[in-house]
DNA sequence: ACAATCATCACGCCCAGCCG
DNA sequence: CGGCTGGGCGTGATGATTGT
């Protein structure tokens, strides 16, 4: 992997001149401000430098309900700071007023009737019409021009420019956006057909809209929640979204890929969007409950590629084989001794994924050998204790993460969107300097050793070595330099504490 | 539940003035 | 005089509030 001194794209620094909108210092030089989302307000005290929020693609423009200024976009990419790490185009950017003025001036000069322009002058202007898709007339070859990929394709015909573009393009492949969590309410209706009635209760689902691409991701989020008991058993896989929260608002089915994209798009734009599930019909419920307990295993040939529908089918197969339980309407496993294990969305998804991934010994009757399916956790349903032995969220999450890892390395195609680790940035803390280096961008395969060689290129002091810890507190875990960050951290951001200790060279005090 | 009204936001744009 | 800056205005969109 390669490490550079590139700076991460951040909303609180102008990507063109790198001035920090909050402290007015230069990002990457003397500015020590952390990453911060900024919202423009007339009289805001959250920032000092006035700025304008500008859309850089159609997604952001739609969200802002503004027309995409293609001229600005091309100008932006021509003038973006070369110190900025741009591997994936940002949807929008906060541009300082000064740079906005420069753009305004640039635009005026472009539109201004030319007086006496020499051919060389004319050639120095880039004329790009992104909407029309027309070929680029002329390109300023004297400037680094990190244009959009569609344009790059054309531009790379020019050797000079493609050479100039190489570092920027490399960077573009690596950037990950700062995720923004969007909360969308989930409600339940008694049936999909009209007249339908909304049931009491609602829960909030959190999504990173930038990552929602498949039905499975929405399915997983819904099934991972504890649904209100008043909803009873819901129709697995039958979900819709509504553009407003009124009962009469249309229900848009979420099944096709297009409908998922439409949902994400609407969710970005509308405040009142909500997701809907439907109560499972009693007749169907019985049919499933008492239906064939044996599924033709040949059916599993349909699970070769784990798509939304295959995962969904796997879940349905599991549900079909569950015994009827008056206590756990969402489904449960019942042991020979009468103890139950309530199944929730998370466990169902893990089980289904294990089936799809053809983990040995796992089928629609046998759950995967995970701690959450441990027979010890089965409880008598009338027991006052919880159905599951309480465990710390941490331990539970880790077991799931480990299992997810196993699934990921299996040769079976993984469901798109279910990534092992969402890690994309880390912050380094030292004993004497908390937040010593913030938001260091992490690439796949990056190790602690890579990280430390970036932070301290000079290496440790003589006869000392760096120690990586999860915390300086007692009990904080230590990591080996060769360990990969993505194997350790699964959240989007991680904090790492770095210490330095003497290398023990004299063992006399330690051994006889 | 819906309509009307008002306040605020976010943006584009203009223009006076400064500077080299 | 050209290049540039910063203040401020106009306008359409949006959200909150109030009335019916």
Return the closest-CA partner of residue A220 out of A262, A259, A249, A254: A254
Distance between CA A501 and CA A405 in Å, rounded? 32
Distance between CA A342 and CA A229 in Å, rounded? 13
Instruction: Quote the distance between the C-alpha of residue A375 and its chain's center.
Output: 34
- Specify the nucleotide whose C1' lies closest to residue A65 (CA): C13
Residue A61 lies in a domain: yes
- Specify the nucleotide whose C1' lies closest to residue A41 (CA): B9
- Domain limit, last residue, from A280, A299, A315: A280
Q: Say whether both A100 and A225 belong to one domain.
A: no
- Looking at the C1' of nucleotide C13, which residue has the nearest alpha carbon? A65
Q: Say whether both A315 and A271 belong to one domain.
A: no
Identify whether the C-beta of residue A333 lies closer than 8 Å to the C-beta of residue A367.
yes
Predicted confidence (pLDDT) per residue in A192-208, tens digit: 765 566 666 677 777 77
Residue A386 three-state SS? coil
Residue A415 lies in a domain: no
**Protein-contacted positions of strand C (CB under 7 Å):** 3-7, 13-15
Determine which of A225-239, A293-307, A373-387 has the lowest per-residue pLDDT on average. Answer: A293-307
Q: Is the CB of A62 under 7 A from strand B?
A: no
In A2-153, at which residue ranges do the beta strands (DSSP E only) sit? 7-8, 51-55, 84-85, 92-96
Report the pLDDT value the prediction gives residue A30, as an integer from 0 to 100. Answer: 74
**Protein-contacted positions of strand B (CB under 7 Å):** 1-2, 9-15
Predicted confidence (pLDDT) per residue in A339-351, tens digit: 777 776 667 777 8
CB within 8 A of A61, min separation 6: which ones?
A55, A67, A68
Q: Say whether both A121 and A219 belong to one domain.
A: no
Identify whether the C-beta of residue A315 lies closer than 8 Å to the C-beta of residue A277.
no
Q: Say whether both A245 and A301 belong to one domain.
A: no
Q: Say whether both A433 and A371 belong to one domain.
A: no
Distances (CA, A) of A478 to A94, A129, A379, A482: 39, 54, 37, 12
- Specify the nucleotide whose C1' lies closest to residue A64 (CA): B10
Residue A1 lies in a domain: no
Predicted confidence (pLDDT) per residue in A242-275, tens digit: 766 555 566 677 777 777 777 776 676 555 677 8
- Residues 398-457 of chain A sitting with CB below 7 angstroms of strand B: none
- A230 CA, C18 C1': Å apart: 35
Number of domains in chain A: 4
Q: Say whether both A157 and A228 belong to one domain.
A: no
- Specify the nucleotide whose C1' lies closest to residue A270 (CA): C14
Predicted confidence (pLDDT) per residue in A69-101, tens digit: 666 777 777 777 777 766 666 777 778 777 776
Residue A484 three-state SS? strand
- A109 CA, B14 C1': Å apart: 15
Report the pLDDT value the prediction gives residue A191, as an integer from 0 to 100. Answer: 72
Tell me the pLDDT band of A49, cut-offs 50, 70 and 90: confident
Tell me the pLDDT band of A123, cut-offs 50, 70 and 90: very low
Return the closest-CA partner of residue A439 out of A2, A13, A14: A13
What DSSP state is assigned to residue A456?
-
Q: Say whether both A42 and A164 belong to one domain.
A: yes
Q: Is the CB of A271 under 7 A from strand B?
A: no
Q: Is the CB of A104 under 7 A from strand B?
A: yes
Which residue range forms the structural domain that includes residue A213? 181-280
Tell me the pLDDT band of A290, cut-offs 50, 70 and 90: very low
Q: Which two tokens stand for residue A14?
A: 């102008």
Q: Say whether both A101 and A153 belong to one domain.
A: yes
Tell me the pLDDT band of A281, cut-offs 50, 70 and 90: low
Identify whether the C-beta of residue A437 lies closer than 8 Å to the C-beta of residue A428.
yes
Average pLDDT over residues A269-286: 60
Q: Say whether both A83 and A118 belong to one domain.
A: yes
Place of tokens 């941490």: A394
In A364-463, at which residue ranges do the beta strands (DSSP E only) sit? 425-430, 437-441
Q: Is the CB of A66 under 7 A from strand B?
A: yes
Determine which of A1-15, A157-171, A453-467 has the lowest per-residue pLDDT on average. Answer: A157-171
Distance between CA A98 and CA A503 in Å, rounded? 52
Strand C surroundings (CB within 7 A): A 50, 65, 97-98, 101-102, 104-105, 109, 271
Q: Is the CB of A91 under 7 A from strand B?
A: no
Considering chain A, what percentage of its residues have pLDDT values greater than 70?
Answer: 48
Residue A507 lies in a domain: no
Residue A491 lies in a domain: yes
Average pLDDT over residues A210-217: 75
Distance between CA A204 and CA A213 in Å, rounded? 19
Residue A419 lies in a domain: no
Distance between CA A144 and CA A80 in Å, rounded? 9
- Specify the nucleotide whose C1' lies closest to residue A42 (CA): B9
- Mean pLDDT score of chain A: 62
- Domain limit, last residue, from A153, A172, A191: A172
Distance between CA A332 and CA A324 in Å, rounded? 8
Residue A298 lies in a domain: yes
Distance between CA A323 and CA A494 in Å, rounded? 42
Return the closest-CA partner of residue A372 out of A358, A359, A388, A384: A388
Which of A246-250, A294-298, A463-467 has the highest mean predicted lDDT (pLDDT)? Answer: A463-467
Q: Say whether both A305 and A384 belong to one domain.
A: yes
Residue A414 lies in a domain: no
Q: Say whether both A133 and A62 belong to one domain.
A: yes
Tell me the pLDDT band of A325, cut-offs 50, 70 and 90: low
Q: Is the pLDDT confidence value at A365 over 60?
A: yes
- Domain limit, last residue, from A256, A280, A304: A280
Residue A489 sits in a domain whose CATH number is 3.10.20
Assess whether the previous peptide bond of A195 is cis (omega < 30° from 0): yes
Q: Is the CB of A242 under 7 A from strand B?
A: no
What DSSP state is assigned to residue A9?
P
Q: Is the pLDDT confidence value at A421 over 60?
A: yes
- Specify the nucleotide whose C1' lies closest to residue A112 (CA): C2
- Specify the nucleotide whose C1' lies closest to residue A102 (CA): C4
- A266 CA, C18 C1': Å apart: 29
- Specify the nucleotide whose C1' lies closest to residue A271 (CA): C15
Q: Say whether both A191 and A204 belong to one domain.
A: yes
């Amino acid at each position: 992997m390669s490490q550079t001194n590139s700076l991460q794209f951040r909303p609180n620094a102008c990507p063109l001149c790198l001035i920090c909108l909050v402290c007015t210092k230069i990002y990457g030089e003397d500015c020590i401000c952390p990453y911060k989302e900024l919202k423009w307000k007339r009289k805001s005290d959250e920032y000092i430098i006035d700025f304008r929020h500008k859309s850089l693609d159609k997604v952001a423009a739609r969200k802002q309900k503004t027309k995409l200024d293609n001229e600005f976009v091309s100008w932006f990419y021509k003038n973006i700071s070369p110190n900025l790490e741009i591997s994936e185009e940002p949807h929008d950017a906060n541009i300082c007023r000064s740079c906005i003025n420069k753009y305004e001036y640039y635009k005026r000069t472009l539109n201004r009737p030319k007086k006496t322009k020499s051919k060389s002058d004319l050639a120095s202007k880039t004329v790009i019409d992104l909407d029309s898709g027309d070929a680029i007339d002329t390109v300023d070859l004297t400037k680094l021009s990190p244009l959009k990929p569609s344009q790059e394709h054309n531009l790379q015909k020019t050797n000079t420019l493609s050479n100039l573009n190489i570092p920027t393009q490399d960077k573009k492949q690596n950037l990950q956006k700062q995720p923004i969590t969007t909360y969308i309410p989930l409600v339940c209706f008694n049936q999909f057909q009209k007249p339908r009635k909304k049931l009491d209760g609602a829960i909030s689902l959190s999504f990173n809209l930038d990552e929602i691409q498949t039905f499975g991701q929405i399915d997983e989020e819904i099934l991972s929640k504890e649904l209100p008991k008043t909803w009873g058993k819901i129709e697995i896989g039958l979900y819709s979204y509504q553009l407003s929260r009124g009962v009469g608002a249309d229900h848009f089915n979420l099944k096709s890929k297009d409908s998922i994209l439409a949902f994400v798009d609407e969710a970005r734009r509308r405040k009142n969007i909500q997701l809907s599930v439907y109560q499972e019909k009693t007749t169907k419920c019985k049919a499933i409950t008492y239906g064939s307990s044996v599924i033709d295993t040949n059916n599993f040939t349909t699970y070769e590629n784990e798509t939304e529908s295959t995962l969904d089918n796997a879940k349905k197969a599991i549900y079909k084989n569950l015994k009827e339980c008056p206590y756990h309407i969402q489904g449960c496993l019942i042991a020979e001794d009468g103890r139950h294990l309530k199944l929730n969305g998370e466990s169902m998804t893990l089980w289904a994924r294990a089936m799809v991934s053809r983990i040995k010994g796992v089928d629609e009757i046998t759950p995967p050998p995970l701690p959450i399916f441990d027979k010890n956790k089965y409880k008598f349903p009338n027991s006052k204790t919880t159905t599951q032995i309480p465990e710390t969220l941490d331990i539970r999450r880790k077991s799931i993460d480990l299992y997810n890892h196993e699934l990921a390395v299996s040769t079976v195609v993984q469901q798109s969107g279910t990534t092992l680790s969402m890690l994309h940035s880390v912050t380094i803390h030292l004993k004497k300097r908390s937040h010593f280096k913030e938001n260091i961008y992490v690439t796949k395969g990056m190790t602690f050793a890579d990280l430390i060689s970036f932070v301290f290129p000079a290496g440790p002091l003589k006869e000392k070595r760096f120690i990586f810890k999860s915390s300086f507190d007692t009990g904080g875990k230590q990591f080996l330099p060769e360990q990969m960050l993505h194997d350790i951290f699964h959240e989007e951001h991680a904090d790492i504490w770095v210490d330095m200790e003497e290398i023990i060279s004299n063992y006399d005090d330690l051994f006889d």
